[in-house]
Structure 1
Amino acid sequence: MSNSGLPKVPNHLTLSILAIFLCMPTAIMAIINSARVNRKLLENNYQEAVLASERCKKWLRWSLILAFIQWPITSMILSSG
């Protein structure tokens, strides 16, 4: 069974790698899930690939949220010293 008739599933690998500069722990989880997308597609498991892609997006969102929380706090600490 080939997945040629199914829509393409984005793996978000580039964004996951760039997210390392935002928040490393959540970016690592995003990278792991983006790698799972391609592996699941090779196994012809479309539903699991979509699930891994959604999990990757979730970890990317958390990277962004935590970065916006962390950066102001860090800058306040560094500017007060």
Structure 2
Amino acid sequence: MNISKQEQRVLHILALGGLIRYQRRESGKVREVTCYTREGHVFSGCSVDTFQSLKHKKLIRSKNSQPYRITKLGATSVQSQMMQR
């Protein structure tokens, strides 16, 4: 599966325990997403387009209106990389 570099970064953060919170418009569509690391820091590299792409590929999922988290497919699809902080 082809995963862009930006999608890999977001998936890696989610694999380490992060989550994606979202806000919806009145029409029900997602208008804003915020990606949080497990420490609670905001990752600015997650856009609505990246979110929609990950969701379409079924690499992230939400249960019972909770924040989006990585799926098993997403965890196996992400390439291992060093966190350079």
Q: State if a TM-score over 0.5 links the two structures.
A: no
Q: TM-score, normalised by structure 1?
A: 0.23
Q: TM-score, normalised by structure 2?
A: 0.22
Larger Rg: 1
If asked which structure has higher relative contact order (CA below 8 Å, sep 6+), I would say: 1
Q: Compare the two structures and name the one with the higher strand fraction.
A: 2
Q: Compare the two structures and name the one with the higher helix fraction.
A: 1
